[in-house]
Amino acid sequence: MNRKQLLFGIVGIAVIGILVAAYFVFFAGSADDNGVTGSGAKAQVTADDRTLGSPKAPVTMIEYAAPQCPHCAHFDMEEFPQFKRDYIDTGKIYYVFRVFPLSQVDYAVESMARCLPPENYFQFIDLMFRNQPKWDPDGYDIPDVKGALEQMGRIAGMSADEVDRCISNQSEQQRIAKVAQEAQTKYNVTGTPTFIVNGQIHGPFTEYQELKDFVDPILKK
């Protein structure tokens, strides 16, 4: 797969079932209301969302990302820290992070993150972005994906058994698939990262200035 063309569409319950089933086949072999459309519409945030900043901020930004996505990792490492200082920490933007899975491995990583205390969620996602070469089979030589995920889990304080229970949680797989399906049907999300800011949609930001040029006019409205 070309890592510059990571696209993943989810259409209907039948496809969701296939994805969840494929997830379990994949790891068995390795052994031992989320928003509204419309320009200017402020997105709805649910209790299941992982967020940063003040809910009272004038602007809400949703990022749909995938742990395997290299562009998402770039944003996390190179642009997000300054974005957080300038917009989230200052109360200008309420940030919402949602996983839009590109493969079964993204289901596993998000399931692991959801097993941790909510306050540790973003720390774990950042850990996975920064260490993609250690666990991501797309573009890297990872002969034992589950073992690699277990090693990353240990860094976060999880035992191998805990990792196994987390990635085997079918209800969590279904929740992830539902979020992704809604991202596609409500916002026509087909790739990652995709940002929705008060109903306005933008793909990957190549540099921080591009991000500023997108959000500043929205903040002025």
CA separation for the pair 60, 43 (Å, rounded): 7
CA separation for the pair 215, 202 (Å, rounded): 10
Tell me the pLDDT of the chain averaged across its residues.
85
Full-model pTM? 0.82
List the helix and strand counts (H, then E) for the chain.
10, 5
DSSP type of residue 4: G
205 CB-near residues (< 8 Å, 6+ apart): 75, 79, 195, 211, 214
β-bridge partners, 7: 191
Q: What are phi and psi of 189, to 5 degrees?
A: -70, 130
pLDDT given at position 42: 57
Question: For the ranges 36-50, 58-72, 116-130, 148-162, which has the lowest average pLDDT?
Answer: 36-50
CA separation for the pair 54, 56 (Å, rounded): 5
Residue 43 has pLDDT above 90, yes or no: no
Residue 191 token pair: 């790739």
DSSP type of residue 158: -
